[in-house]
Amino acid sequence: MNLFTETNLSPDILKAIGELGYESPTEIQKQTIPFIQSDIRDLIALAQTGTGKTAAFSLPILDMIDDTSRKIQFLVLCPTRELCLQISKDINNYSKYMKNIKTTAVYGGSSITDQMRSLRDKPQVIVGTPGRVIDLINRKALDFSEIHWLVLDEADEMLSMGFKDELETILRETPETKQTFLFSATMSKEVERISKSYLTTPHRISVGSINEVKKNIKHEFYVVGYRNKKEALKRLIDANPNQYSIIFCRTRMETQEVADFLMQNGYGADALHGDLSQAQRDTVMKKFRLKNIDILVATDVAARGLDVDSLTHVIHFSLPDDPEVFVHRSGRTGRAGKDGISMSLIKPEESRKLKQIKSTTKIEIVEKKIPTGDEVMSAQVKGVFEKLMTEHENVFEFDQNLVPDLSNFTKEELVIQLLQFQLKDFALYYKDKQDLVDQKFNNRDDDRGGRDRDGRGRDRDRGRDRDRGERSDRGERRGDRGGKPRQRDENMTRFFFNLGKKDQLKKLDVLEIINKATSSKGSKRAEIGNIEILEKFSFFEVEKSYGKELLGNIQSMKFKGKDMRAEEAN
């Protein structure tokens, strides 16, 4: 099947996707569309984001929906409202000429009353996020007793965001006779468990490697201390002119701070994170897609559903904890056969995390030096000529008489004068700037210190527990197994927390606990650093000025009925 016209899709669907420019199906579409059209088995499809999954599952299902019935027949569950809106928009586009097909999107962050009102139109297709779907089920506004097809899109992401209980509740509300399609970028243990519990002898389709790393992306990392990270980011942007990029941050607060810094320094940038209203998110994403801004600063969750093919760079302002997230982030550049660059800003104490990412993903990440002022200026000059040569066009009639007598200038002198004029602000900014000297970065097998070249010092310095699966309490609180104080940001305080994996604690839970315990300072959220969840206890880092408030509040809180206790880790 090399063309959509070779499928058994109806003329109405072929007309709609033809107007969208669809001609040749992607690999996931080639395998999935015929299967859904002809097979009654459940399906597990492993494919990366951006491979055309929405069309793969929705085109054949739309073709089979009974448009004379006003019952819900097709349910799509996805992790975020951005992705929910994108899928709903795509399905509406595909069913443009199927006048009796109605689709409704239901998601958090918008009026549930308005969404309940839209359900009175009796749509056959529901696209929703798990939390809002549960809310509507509880209000008796959704009835899934007659659905025929259920799609779990980005199932791994829904589970990593903590939606396991919601998914299982929704699945129990659906008939056993339905056909279930699970789409995921990775096959984690939780995804495997869900598939075994709720799918019946599923067929499997895998497109490429589950953790496929694109070969046309160049990976770089730059070592910089916490205090110099924003300045280093500015230099990376200035040394790579004409870029169209996403900068990924760990927290909402960090995202907004980085975006504010860039905007204050004159860059076309904006922030995308969970504290924005839906209208604000839509505005930011529209500006970015139209290239009214060329830098988007975002959290991982907020960027879900944002599908842009022409990104030149992805910048990891903060490394993610999960190596798979690093792959997903980086994979947003280098699309449509183009080359891309992934840049990571690494704190000196993050060598262990970088090593884990390298080991898990098998990506070669090359260390580079933060550009000097001279290197930035050299790149800016090249950028001017690159833009001139690639974007030159005659957009208006030019009166030659307006050009003054330039006979006193050689061609080279004139070019230099124009460059001086064009790059004056950059030249003045970097004129007396010192180089950002990298802090010491131990890029060995680990960053614990005290290791001999032959590796024999590793066991000696660790002070390991007899049980290798669990670190010693004293060793963790000290923060370093080699007897040396662990480096960490001066603005952050590290806390010991009495709950861990055995208490079913997840990182999202820790974020929520910290936010609740530090909520008295108005709208300004505490900055949150590393979160490390171990078997019986955990560690997390919080902005130093919030430490006293956190300790005062957390002892009166409970997690799943259990008392919580935190103390500063020395």
Give per-residue pLDDT as tens, 50-69.
Answer: 678 999 999 999 999 999 99
Q: How confident is the model at residue 479 (pLDDT cuts 50, 70, 90)?
A: very low
Mean per-residue pLDDT for 166-192? 89
Residue 510 has pLDDT above 80, yes or no: yes
Tens-digit pLDDT profile for residues 289-335: 888 999 999 988 777 666 677 899 999 999 988 787 888 888 888 87
Distances (CA, A) of 28 to 55, 57, 87, 420: 9, 9, 16, 51
Q: How confident is the model at residue 254 (pLDDT cuts 50, 70, 90)?
A: very high
Mean per-residue pLDDT for 386-394? 69
pLDDT of amino acid 457: 39
Distances (CA, A) of 79 to 85, 136, 167, 449, 520: 11, 16, 11, 41, 29
Beta bridge partners of 438: none
SS3 (DSSP) at 344: strand
Residue 192 has pLDDT above 50, yes or no: yes
Residue 288 has pLDDT above 80, yes or no: yes
Pairing mode, if any, of strands 295-299 and 313-316? unpaired
Task: Count how many Cα atoms sit within 13 Å of the Cα of residue 266 in the half-sphere of its side chain.
Answer: 4
Residue 456 has pLDDT above 70, yes or no: no
Pairing mode, if any, of strands 295-299 and 269-272? parallel
Residues 6+ apart with CB under 8 A from 403: none
Q: How confident is the model at residue 454 (pLDDT cuts 50, 70, 90)?
A: very low
Residue 460 has pLDDT above 50, yes or no: no
Record the tokens describing residue 156, joined without a space. 């791994």
Residue 474 has pLDDT above 70, yes or no: no
pLDDT of amino acid 393: 63
Q: What is the dihedral of CA 447, 449, 451, 452, to 10 degrees?
A: 120
For residue 44, what is the enclosing H or E element? strand 43-46
Q: Which residue has the higher pLDDT, 450 or 42?
A: 42
Percentage of residues of the chain with pLDDT beyond 70: 85
Q: Which residue has the higher pLDDT, 300 or 403?
A: 300
Record the tokens describing residue 180, joined without a space. 């279930």
Pairing mode, if any, of strands 558-559 and 562-563? antiparallel
End-to-end Cα, the chain, rounded Å: 63
Residue 110 has pLDDT above 90, yes or no: no
Distances (CA, A) of 170 to 103, 120, 148, 149, 506: 19, 20, 14, 13, 21
Per CATH, the homologous superfamily of domain 488-568 is RRM (RNA recognition motif) domain (3.30.70.330)
pLDDT of amino acid 87: 93
Q: What angle do CA 272, 276, 280 make, to 5 degrees?
A: 80
Q: How confident is the model at residue 459 (pLDDT cuts 50, 70, 90)?
A: very low
Residue 467 has pLDDT above 70, yes or no: no
Residue 461 has pLDDT above 50, yes or no: no
Residue 441 has pLDDT above 70, yes or no: no
Percentages (nearest 5) of helix, strand, coil residues in the chain: 40, 15, 40
Q: Which of 473, 465, 518, 480 is nearest to 496 (CA)?
A: 473
Mean per-residue pLDDT for 6-25? 90
For residue 77, what is the enclosing H or E element? strand 74-77
Residues 6+ apart with CB under 8 A from 113: none
pLDDT of amino acid 171: 92
3-state SS string over 519-554? CCCCCCCCCEEEEEECCCCEEEEEEHHHHHHHHHHH
Instruction: Give the separation between CA 322 and CA 290, rounded to whole angstroms.
Output: 31
Record the tokens describing residue 299, joined without a space. 């959290």
Which residue do the tokens 């199932």 mark?
155
Residues 6+ apart with CB under 8 A from 411: none
Backbone region of residue 323 per phi and psi (left: phi > 0; alpha: psi in -120 to 50; beta: other values): alpha
For residue 137, what is the enclosing H or E element? helix 130-138
Residue 202 has pLDDT above 80, yes or no: yes
Mean per-residue pLDDT for 93-117? 93
pLDDT of amino acid 518: 86
pTM value is 0.53
Q: How confident is the model at residue 49 (pLDDT cuts 50, 70, 90)?
A: low
Record the tokens describing residue 510, joined without a space. 């820790």
b/e map 338-374, b = 16+ CB within 10 Å: eebbbbbbbbbbbbebbbbbbeebebebeeeebbbbe
Residue 213 has pLDDT above 70, yes or no: no
pLDDT of amino acid 315: 96
Whether 4-206 shares its CATH topology with 217-372 is answered: yes
Give domain 217-372's CATH architecture. Answer: 3-Layer(aba) Sandwich (3.40)
Tens-digit pLDDT profile for residues 336-373: 668 899 999 998 888 888 988 888 888 999 999 999 98
Q: How confident is the model at residue 208 (pLDDT cuts 50, 70, 90)?
A: low
Residue 106 has pLDDT above 80, yes or no: yes
Q: How confident is the model at residue 12 (pLDDT cuts 50, 70, 90)?
A: very high
In DSSP notation, 453-475 reads TTSTHHHHHH---SSTTS--HHH
Residue type, 187: M
Residue 487 has pLDDT above 60, yes or no: no
What residues does each domain of the chain span?
4-206, 217-372, 374-430, 488-568
Mean per-residue pLDDT for 421-432? 76
Highest averaged pLDDT of the listed ranges 121-125, 265-269, 528-532: 121-125
Q: What is the dihedral of CA 342, 345, 351, 352, to 10 degrees?
A: -70
Q: What angle do CA 134, 140, 146 make, to 5 degrees?
A: 85
Distances (CA, A) of 258 to 232, 265, 428: 12, 11, 23
pLDDT of amino acid 481: 33
Q: How confident is the model at residue 529 (pLDDT cuts 50, 70, 90)?
A: confident
pLDDT of amino acid 15: 95
Mean per-residue pLDDT for 520-535? 76
Do residues 272 and 285 lie in contact, with contact meaning Cβ atoms separated by under 8 Å?
yes
Record the tokens describing residue 532, joined without a space. 């490390």
Q: How confident is the model at residue 522 (pLDDT cuts 50, 70, 90)?
A: low
Q: Which residue has the higher pLDDT, 553 or 212?
A: 553
Q: What is the dihedral of CA 499, 503, 509, 510, to 10 degrees?
A: 10
Mean per-residue pLDDT for 259-284? 87
pLDDT of amino acid 11: 94
Instruction: Give the separation between CA 116 and CA 106, rounded to whole angstroms.
Output: 9
Q: How confident is the model at residue 396 (pLDDT cuts 50, 70, 90)?
A: low
Percentage of residues of the chain with pLDDT beyond 90: 37
In DSSP notation, 199-236 reads -SS-EEEE-S-TT---TTEEEEEEE--GGGHHHHHHHH
Instruction: Give the separation between CA 149 and CA 60, rounded to whole angstroms.
Output: 11
Do residues 295 and 247 lie in contact, with contact meaning Cβ atoms separated by under 8 Å?
yes
What is the CATH T-level fold of the domain 4-206, as seen in this structure?
Answer: Rossmann fold (3.40.50)
Instruction: Give the separation between CA 530 and CA 493, rounded to whole angstroms.
Output: 10
pLDDT of amino acid 486: 43
Mean per-residue pLDDT for 158-168? 86
pLDDT of amino acid 471: 35
- Mean pLDDT of the chain, nearest integer: 82
Do residues 33 and 45 lie in contact, with contact meaning Cβ atoms separated by under 8 Å?
no
pLDDT of amino acid 336: 66
